[in-house]
Amino acid sequence: MKDKGVSTTGAVLVIILLAIVGFFGYNFYQGREAMYNIESEVTGAGIPDPGLTSVDIPIEIEFHNESNYDSPSFTASYDIYIGDEKIGEGNLPSIVVPAGRTETATQEITINYEDVGAGLVDVLQTGEFTVTVEGDFKTKVAFGLIPISRSFKSTYSF
């Protein structure tokens, strides 16, 4: 009789272990699918506001989750370029993008003319240029145990 009790207990433990591993794996799959299906696009938030010594450029970035799963909470860090010249950096605090939805983040960048080349100042003052945002999404999936990082790049012409 003891043998049946041990085998029943062992079977129950195996079933519980398989359920935990399956649940963990499914959580990992959902988070990974969502993160690898998020598309980013710089949409622009308005017209640049040139001043005498600097220009303020509102940057609007949309994140669209094309997967069937809500994204895990993620952050983004990125560099901002006009042409080939880096003009600033940005960080997106924690954001969640529900399945099939779009979330928007806005950041205003102030560029001091003294920090950039004369050619770029002319471009900024005319208001006709392309902004490129390039960076990484970062999150942890599977109950916060496995880090995932994914690069993104988006451009917008003013």
User: Alpha carbon of 68 to those of 18, 25, 40, 61, 138: distances in Å?
Assistant: 25, 16, 17, 21, 19
pTM for the model stands at: 0.70
CA angle 87, 118, 55 (to 5 degrees): 50
For every one of its 158 residues, what pLDDT tens digit does the chain have, with 9 covering 90 and above?
A: 455 556 888 888 889 999 888 888 888 888 888 888 888 888 865 566 677 777 777 788 899 999 999 988 899 898 888 877 887 788 888 889 999 999 988 877 777 777 777 667 666 666 677 878 899 989 988 787 889 888 989 887 77
Q: Where are the domains of the chain?
A: 2-157
- Write the CATH number of the domain with boundaries 2-157: 2.60.40.1820
